A and B are shown apart, each in its own frame.
Chain A
Amino acid sequence: MSKARPEVGLFVTCLVDLFRPGVGFAAVALLERAGCAVTVPRNQTCCGQPAYNGGDRANATAIAKQVVEAFEKFDYVVAPSGSCAGMIAKHYPQLFAGDPAMAARAGDLAGRTHELISFLVDIRGMDALDVKFDATATYHDACSGLRELGVKAQPRALLERIEGLRLVELPGAEMCCGVGGAFCVKYPDISNKMVANKTRDIAATGAELVLAGDLGCLMNIAGKLAREGSPVRVRHIAEVLAGMAGQPAIGEGRR
């Protein structure tokens, strides 16, 4: 599909919608810069992962059906989250295994769905950014994007294009931060151990800023850093790439 100006449906994701709309606007800005026409379907709430991973297949399927219907007509569907994009691209088709008609529609949606940063680089060929941002940053590879969708090189490639940004690799960048959806509240002590390992590794880099592509991980990491009294700031990578990192960082008060 090589339309000059492809129609992109933005899957906002529930966390961005509720907690950090700025990431949504950053995604829109980046997609428009990449030559896409962006539409935000009204009938979207969440991708259904809480139900799917909570064992509630009936509700997961109902929510998935709603998403399939809302995003039927777009050339591409893009989410600023590897987790939600992975849910749609890798898991929806399985949800409709017993319903060939829906399975076909879900399979079609799956083929059109992408995580934001990999979409920009792999599909839209974005390789230049007209953005300056002075910071030493490190990057955490969120699990689903990394392992389900192969998001690894793309964010680093774009971050290197930002003038003034020094990227230091995070030791254990591919280790889970411990959020895991409802895992962090069902098994808080294990989750705490995992996120404490993550903030320890972040501190070791000396970076003043942590970036990632998934708001769930970012809220977890930001919440832990704040609890530990760390000055390290936390942002979604899209904010920085879009030149929209002027807003307070995640968990940071208004200055």
Chain B
Amino acid sequence: MESTSRNFNANVRAALANDALQSALGKIESGFVANRANAAPRLPEFDALRDQARDIKDHILDNLDFYLEAFEARVLESGGQVHWASSAADARAAILDICRSVDARTVTKGKSMIAEEIGLNDFLEENGIEPVETDLGEYIIQLRKEPPSHIIAPAIHLVKEQIEEAFRGAHEGMFDSGRSLEEPRALLEEARAVLRQRFLDADVGITGANFLIAATGSTVIVTNEGNGDLTQTLPKIHIVIASLEKVVPTLEDTSTLLRVLARSATGQEFTSYTTFSNGPRRNGDPDGPEQFHVVLLDNGRSEMLGGPVRDVLRCIRCGACMNHCPVYGAVGGHSYGWVYPGPIGAVLTPTLLGLDEGRHLPNASTFCGRCESVCPVRIPLLSLMRHHREQAFEDKLSPAAERTGLGVWAFFARHPALYRFATGLAMRALAWAGRKQGRFSTLPFAGGWTAHRDLPAPQGDTFQRQWSARGGRRR
């Protein structure tokens, strides 16, 4: 996927002016956020489970090669194949080879952020293979030719009317043009009807994976629509595409992670479908694919493992951090410009694409900390964003005026006597200028502030001067 992260400010302006988007975003608080808030206290040990989940993931990262090799061995034993892909291009090539081996025309796809990361759909299309998204949200945005705006709710930026419009356009001639699509249910039924044939026609089914279990060689997906099951059982070939850090030691660990995943993501105790896949169809199995492939994507992960943002590899892609992020809530996922939006994107995008491209994302945060307070695997998202800021500062990537301003301020802050003198003068002048109104609606050098709000004027002398004047206790 092509990134527009460097155009973050332009993306933001467009997002803030987009009324449909704003109305769609307004529903996150009453939906995902409220649901999680209700679900969390119903499980008294939820916070303890979060600690466990963090520890499980840390243990995995400490032993990643061991668990990956174990997983590979189990997959091979069950008759499947594993393809190691160090880059997005490698992963795309591996998938194309598999598709070509059966002259695939269409592939059905379950929801996968890794597929987005490697730009799979565009690539398949360029190579004459039609990808069909089967997750309802993904299906909608595929019709609209746009990327997902959320990692678990890809079409969350849309209102119902926009979906209806997309369906009427794409399904023209397939249904009665006078049909009612008022009810969300009607939209769902229509998508089902269209997709049913696509499921049957597909030569290959591609899904992501929430977990890869080292002990059993299973791949696990969670969905609420059951589309993933049809994607992976009906075609001749099932390809799983997942990044390295998705591996988990045992079924038991998986169940711990599943418990925090669903509650954090949607507030459900469990998602409607949790599907485990083990290898291809065996003799006597009633159904299942003839071939089972797992494409394991590195794409920068092994480098991250030894670096300062390692903790982000704990992420289980629940989406809670973006649901709770007030910046995400204001500007939506597309503003972030690349695959991963919200706080997790603010850490991942600069890591994977470089700070030149992604520097705005970790800066565009108030550090309110709401993301960290809900992250099921306790990723220190703020510290990781701050790490990117430090790197950007070191590399002099921020605007020169900003760095100069910070430098001047820091000089005074480091010289208290000078600071007291300078601020004493400045505040008296400002207080005098603002004495009647008590605030400024414009002020030189304060345009960023006064563009949208008044600046309260100082009360008068600084506290330090007044304290001295009153003979207060000093040291």
Interface residues of A (CB under 8 A from B): 9, 12, 14, 16-22, 24-25, 28, 37-46, 48, 50-57, 59, 62-63, 66, 70, 73, 94, 143-144, 147-148, 172, 174-176, 178-195, 197, 219-220, 222-224, 226-227, 247-248, 250-254
* Residue B170, interface by CB 8 Å: no
Tell me the minimal C-beta distance from B372 to chain A in angstroms.
8
Tell me the minimal C-beta distance from B416 to chain A in angstroms.
5
Q: Which 9 A-B pairs have the closest CB atoms?
A: A180-B366, A185-B448, A55-B393, A223-B453, A55-B389, A176-B368, A251-B456, A253-B438, A21-B463
Are B327 and A190 in touch, CB under 8 angstroms?
yes
Are B452 and A224 in touch, CB under 8 angstroms?
yes
**Of all chain B residues, which has the CB nearest A65?**
B414
Binary CB contact string for chain B from 350 to 393 against chain A (1 if under 8 A, 0 otherwise): 00000000000001111111101100000000010010011111
Residue in B326, B448, B472 whose CB lies within 8 Å of A184: B448
Are B459 and A19 in touch, CB under 8 angstroms?
yes
A-B contacts counted at CB < 8 A amount to 229
Are B16 and A21 in touch, CB under 8 angstroms?
no
Residue in B9, B391, B412, B475 whose CB lies within 8 Å of A55: B391
Residue in B29, B393, B467 whose CB lies within 8 Å of A40: B467
Given A176-B370, A188-B451; A55-B392 close (CB under 8 Å):
yes
Are A186 and B414 in touch, CB under 8 angstroms?
no
Are B370 and A248 in touch, CB under 8 angstroms?
no
Complex Cα–Cα for A181 and B474 (A): 29
| Extra 20 A-B pairs, beta carbons < 8 Å, given A40-B463, A190-B12 | A18-B427, A19-B456, A38-B472, A42-B474, A45-B412, A45-B413, A56-B407, A143-B369, A147-B368, A180-B365, A180-B366, A189-B452, A190-B16, A191-B452, A195-B452, A219-B455, A220-B453, A250-B456, A251-B457, A253-B435
Of the A-B pairs whose beta carbons lie under 8 Å apart in the complex, a sample of 5, sorted by A's number, is A184-B449, A187-B364, A192-B451, A193-B330, A254-B436
Given A63-B413, A143-B368; A185-B449 close (CB under 8 Å):
yes
Taking chain A's interface residues, is the majority helix, strand, or loop, or is none over half, making it mixed?
A: helix
Taking chain B's interface residues, is the majority helix, strand, or loop, or is none over half, making it mixed?
A: helix
Could you say which residues of chain B place their CB within 8 Å of the CB of A45?
412-414, 416, 419
**Of all chain B residues, which has the CB nearest A147?**
B369
Are A51 and B406 in touch, CB under 8 angstroms?
yes
Tell me the minimal C-beta distance from A242 to chain B in angstroms.
14
Could you say which residues of chain A place their CB within 8 Å of the CB of B410?
50-51, 56, 59, 62-63
Tell me the minimal C-beta distance from B312 to chain A in angstroms.
18
Are A57 and B390 in touch, CB under 8 angstroms?
yes
Are A226 and B386 in touch, CB under 8 angstroms?
no
**Of all chain B residues, which has the CB nearest A40?**
B467
Given A42-B474, A226-B439, A253-B436; A190-B406 close (CB under 8 Å):
no
Could you say which residues of chain A place their CB within 8 Å of the CB of B366?
143, 176, 178-181, 183, 191, 194
Complex Cα–Cα for A38 and B474 (A): 9
**Of all chain B residues, which has the CB nearest A94?**
B383
Interface residues of B (CB under 8 A from A): 9, 12-13, 16, 29, 326-327, 330-331, 363-370, 372-373, 383, 386, 389-394, 398, 402, 406-407, 409-410, 412-414, 416, 419-420, 423, 426-427, 435-439, 441, 446, 448-449, 451-464, 466-467, 472-475
Are B393 and A56 in touch, CB under 8 angstroms?
yes
Are A18 and B462 in touch, CB under 8 angstroms?
yes
Given A66-B416, A186-B363, A254-B435; A54-B393 close (CB under 8 Å):
yes
Among A45, A144, A174, which residue has the most Cβ atoms of chain B within 10 A? A45
Tell me the minimal C-beta distance from B441 to chain A in angstroms.
7
Tell me the minimal C-beta distance from B455 to chain A in angstroms.
6
Could you say which residues of chain A place their CB within 8 Å of the CB of B456?
19-20, 219, 222-223, 226, 250-251
Tell me the minimal C-beta distance from A21 to chain B in angstroms.
4
Could you say which residues of chain B place their CB within 8 Å of the CB of A247?
459
Could you say which residues of chain B place their CB within 8 Å of the CB of A22?
459
Could you say which residues of chain B place their CB within 8 Å of the CB of A17?
423, 462-464
Complex Cα–Cα for A153 and B451 (A): 35
Tell me the minimal C-beta distance from A219 to chain B in angstroms.
5
Could you say which residues of chain A place their CB within 8 Å of the CB of B454?
222-224, 226-227, 251
Are A190 and B364 in touch, CB under 8 angstroms?
yes
Tell me the minimal C-beta distance from B362 to chain A in angstroms.
9
Complex Cα–Cα for A41 and B466 (A): 14
Could you say which residues of chain B place their CB within 8 Å of the CB of A190?
12, 16, 327, 330-331, 364
Tell me the minimal C-beta distance from A120 to chain B in angstroms.
19
Are B453 and A53 in touch, CB under 8 angstroms?
no
Are A40 and B464 in touch, CB under 8 angstroms?
yes
Given A12-B463, A180-B366, A193-B330; A40-B438 close (CB under 8 Å):
no
Complex Cα–Cα for A250 and B475 (A): 30
Are A55 and B386 in touch, CB under 8 angstroms?
yes
Are A56 and B406 in touch, CB under 8 angstroms?
yes
Could you say which residues of chain A place their CB within 8 Å of the CB of B390?
55-57
Could you say which residues of chain A place their CB within 8 Å of the CB of B457?
19, 251
Residue in B327, B393, B406, B473 whose CB lies within 8 Å of A37: B473
Could you say which residues of chain B place their CB within 8 Å of the CB of A42?
416, 420, 464, 474-475
